Amino acid sequence: MDRFQHYIDGQFEDGSASFDSLDPATGTPWATMPMATAGDVDRAVRAAHRAFVAGPWPALTASARGKLLMRLADLVQAAAPDLARLETRDTGKIIRETSAQIAYVAEYYRYYAGLADKIEGAHLPIDKPDMEVWLRREPVGVVAAIVPWNSQLFLSAVKLGPALAAGCTVVLKASEDGPAPLLAFARLVEQAGFPAGVVNILTGGPEAGVALTTHPKVAHIAFTGGPETARHIVRGSAENLAKVSLELGGKSPFIVFEDADLDSAANAQVSGIFAATGQSCVAGSRLLVQRSVKDAFLARLKAKAEAVAIGAPDRMETEVGPLCTARQRDRIAALIAQSLAAGAKLVTGGQAPEGAGFYFPPTILDCSEVPDAPALQQEFFGPVLSVVTFDTEEQALALANDTAFGLASGVFTRSLTRAHRMIRRIRAGVVWVNTYRAVSPIAPFGGHGLSGHGREGGMAAALDYTAVKTVWLRTSDDPIPDPFVMR
């Protein structure tokens, strides 16, 4: 089997322990992965801290940091086909999606390469005559970046890019589910010429996660994952009082009004829920459709869902591949069973096929008569769409906001005034109008509530990895008066 290593302080090394990674398409082991212990994490964080306070990295100009990021972007683009094959093999994500996504990841590094020397301070028009006061933006320190297995190179780029542009150093923890592409990405970091310790990449389970997020030398924790793990991280951050940014899950409303282009909306809905086998934090998993067009719209979706090509993820013709893990498949099946028992109606799909691999078909549940069905409140993280109907705009808004999550949303209507009303009142970090799943390094991304806080992407993300230092400079040559001499 293939064998992967950690990347700590500029060196590739085996973990203190190891585990086998399973191919989701077959359910069989294909590679051996290192398993980080608390000791491994401690060495990585200390290496990152040394690199932050001394050596070549803090001496680099912002422009020089940008050039390193630009070099990394070029290497990612050149290696995209190989990284895509690794991600497909280790996570089951289809090759047509990993290929396109990883090629675009290079644009995130290019964007932050360009921002590195544009993180500016400010001069303050202070109210004291003999003072000059200005603000410096300085890197916060060591960043603990934790990403899940899905879209991991993208989710790493939105953390690494701004953190490195700002001058921080990073310990990146890949998920123990499917870590191969990130461990391979470490080779590109080395080739780009980043000094030892600036970027460290390892993988492991809860022991590694706890050790990383509670480490006294970690200044910022950037986490993408589920709310339950996020709660542990927030509690653990009390140990080091690190700044925490969280990009969590979603139960995103996909709202279709009767005046929408139904064919266009159907294509967007299929992409929004069945792409990546539904394993996306922004999956449009709650369809809110106006009653007058429900039957026509569901007929389109049912036909598209049943025509989806399910198969081996390494084949370009495959449109839906396996889920990443068997436990995820089993959880989805259990949630569907609970929803059906509560009164939801199965439109299509709903049952895992026989045979090897962690496959689950595109599934549609009509929950119009069961507003409290589990399918409408819990994130499946799989190819399952839950449907409810509405009659008025107010009802659509109430349904859209009836969730503890608040990450993404979609609105399909030809009415410009209605679109603006919905944009103002939907409680979500992202609102897509007549489109879905569009992303760019230029646009901030993040959510509210159980979907987390903080933003990734854009200048806002780069500033998030900085701290403001206020500098006071007295310009008078006169001695400071003795404060204890009465005048």
Per-residue 3-state assignment (H helix, E strand, C coil) for 297-313: HHHHHHHHHHHCCECCC
3-class DSSP assignment, residue 422:
helix
Q: Are residues 216 and 284 in the same domain?
A: no
Residue percentage of the chain with pLDDT more than 90: 90
Q: Are residues 64 and 211 in the same domain?
A: yes
Q: Are residues 240 and 373 in the same domain?
A: no
pLDDT digits (tens, 9 = 90+) for 357-382: 999 999 999 999 998 888 898 888 89
How many residues are present in the chain? Answer: 487
pLDDT digits (tens, 9 = 90+) for 92-107: 999 999 999 999 999 9
Q: Model's pTM, two decimal places? A: 0.94
Name which of 428, 429, 366, 432 is nearest 397 in CA terms.
428
DSSP H/E element including 399: helix 393-400
User: Is residue 131 in a domain?
Assistant: yes
Q: Are residues 392 and 452 in the same domain?
A: no
Which two structure tokens, joined as six digits, stand for 450? 């159980």
Query: What's residue 372's pLDDT?
Result: 86
3-class DSSP assignment, residue 11:
strand
Q: Are residues 153 and 275 in the same domain?
A: no
Q: State the residue range of the domain holding 285.
A: 253-433
User: Mean of the pLDDT values across residues 407-415?
Assistant: 97
Q: What is 313-345 written as a DSSP string?
A: TTSTT-SB---S-HHHHHHHHHHHHHHHHHT-E
User: Is residue 266 in a domain?
Assistant: yes
User: Is residue 482 in a domain?
Assistant: no
User: Is 393 tagged catalytic?
Assistant: no
Q: Are residues 384 and 456 in the same domain?
A: no
pLDDT at 228 over 80: yes
Residue percentage of the chain with pLDDT more than 70: 100
Number of domains in the chain: 2
Report the distance separating Cα 93 and Cα 472, nearest Å. Answer: 54
User: Is residue 481 in a domain?
Assistant: no
Report the distance separating Cα 147 and Cα 145, nearest Å. Answer: 7
Q: Are residues 271 and 229 in the same domain?
A: no
Any idea what the CATH number is for the domain that residue 47 is in?
A: 3.40.605.10
Q: Are residues 203 and 114 in the same domain?
A: yes
Confidence of residue 324 (pLDDT cuts 50, 70, 90): confident
User: Is residue 24 in a domain?
Assistant: yes
pLDDT at 486 over 80: no
Contact (Cβ atoms closer than 8 angstroms) between residue 207 and residue 197: no
- Give the CA-trace dihedral at 65, 66, 72, 75, to 10 degrees: -140
User: Mean of the pLDDT values across residues 39-55?
Assistant: 97
Q: Are residues 139 and 259 in the same domain?
A: no
Query: What's residue 487's pLDDT?
Result: 67
Q: Are residues 428 and 456 in the same domain?
A: no
User: Is residue 478 in a domain?
Assistant: no
Report the distance separating Cα 180 and Cα 90, nearest Å. Answer: 6
Selecting among 97, 176, 247, 319, the annotated active-site residue is: 247
CB hemisphere CA count around 424 (13 angstroms): 7
Rounded to 5 degrees, φ, ψ at 405 are: -90, 170
User: Is residue 439 in a domain?
Assistant: no
3-class DSSP assignment, residue 260:
coil
**Mean pLDDT of all residues belonging to the chain:** 95
Q: Are residues 109 and 133 in the same domain?
A: yes
Any idea what the CATH number is for the domain that residue 351 is in?
A: 3.40.309.10
Q: Are residues 311 and 409 in the same domain?
A: yes
Contact (Cβ atoms closer than 8 angstroms) between residue 217 and residue 46: yes
User: Mean of the pLDDT values across residues 312-322?
Assistant: 92
User: Is residue 125 in a domain?
Assistant: yes
